[in-house]
Structure 1
Amino acid sequence: MNDTAGNTPDQPATRSYKRVMLKISGEALMGDQGYGLHPPTVARIADEVESVHKLGVEICMVIGGGNIFRGLQGSAQGMERATADYMGMLATVMNALAMQAALEAKGLHSRVISAIRMDEVAEPYIRRRAIRHLEKKRICIFAAGTGNPYFTTDTAATLRANEMGCEAIFKGTKVDGVYDKDPARFPDAKRYDNVTYDEVLQKHLAVMDASAIALARDNNLPIIVFSLDEPGGFCGILAGKGTYTRVHG
């Protein structure tokens, strides 16, 4: 494992991927706002997805809901946890619909697939149907988490990635990989080129929650952490360029 901040790994994302999961936070859709959706930012992320779609890669997406409502924060303020989590799931559906609109404005076919039935706005989750959408090169945006409280969208992304047969999870963040400490607060923070699932858990590195990491580890599903703020970053990493951290066994 390397923990240098300047070197780009000469493997793993240089390989060709057929199907991937893109996981982004709801906060990524806020832009410079402190709340809600920023349409130009949503459109920019849609550009990133479009560039990868043009490579022939089948794309799944999971978007968090923290820009609208975060269940854990709601429960911390006295709301019953399950209710707060269901509200957070509804926020992810709103974000998924916004992303669908941005993608389809570019002529890309997509489907919002919800773990909670709401047939007027989204398809229910049926695994075989979702796989068929991917085979037809439609982008599948999985919403409402796992459909269960107490599980994060990180866990939902890992679950759906395994169910869909994705070859990797691409976690888009505000930094270009996984660091030993917060690079925004500590100038001497060092980035890992590669890190194992167990090291992430043991060192409490901010990648995904423990349930998501354990599920990825048990199914040997690599996680590639990169900066979504870097224009062309998603496509570049798939082409073997750019800076990122690979989490693997």
Structure 2
Amino acid sequence: MSAPPEGLAQRLVDWMAANRPALDAAMAQEGSRAMHEEFLMAEGGTLPDRRGRIDRAREASARAWMRHMAHALDETWAGATPGLAERMERWMAGHRERLEALALEEAAASERRGASGDPEADRRAAGLTAHGRLLAEALAVASEGAPGWAEAAPAFSRRVGGLVRGREDRRRAVEEEARRAWGPAPAPGADQVATAAPEPDAERVREAAAVWSHVRILTEALEAALASRPGAPA
């Protein structure tokens, strides 16, 4: 008996792993943007602090992963229409203010659930979930008019966000597994971007593991959200 076909989540993960050089290129581009922002701040008389550097590096990693996942969706999702990834990338790049709004929504949702005891982890999770929701909105916008797509972008984004939050225990397990696997330093090629003042290895491991765990859970949330649309296979 042949094995059942893999679901969308695993197809996305497999494609992203098989096309690692494309992610590395996106990381380099986003890392350059992050360093440029630091230099502009310094020229303006504002010295970047450590928390700001960490935040910018995390944001750069998340942007690179979302760009990579857009191309993975283009290649592995049955509902993809020609040029999907390019449309998604353009939309995400042009709606950074929307990301800020989604981050505020996720921070409010985190407050309603109650503090985890680690405010920094809660803030990091809210921001990374917002990146996933921005990708979901980009997917919905880029798919408007396609057969079987009738859901508005904000509604689809909210559904994906809820599915991500509902998998928080699993996300934490994925993050912890990544931390243990990478040990004192991220594995070669782990999703790290350069900053003007690189962080210690332990900090880099924590950040890389956090970003990866959100990426992994986002693939599962997208599979569930897309499969639940009437007549639309994942």
TM-score, with normalisation over the residues of structure 2? 0.28
More helix as a share of residues: 2
More strand as a share of residues: 1
TM-score, with normalisation over the residues of structure 1? 0.27
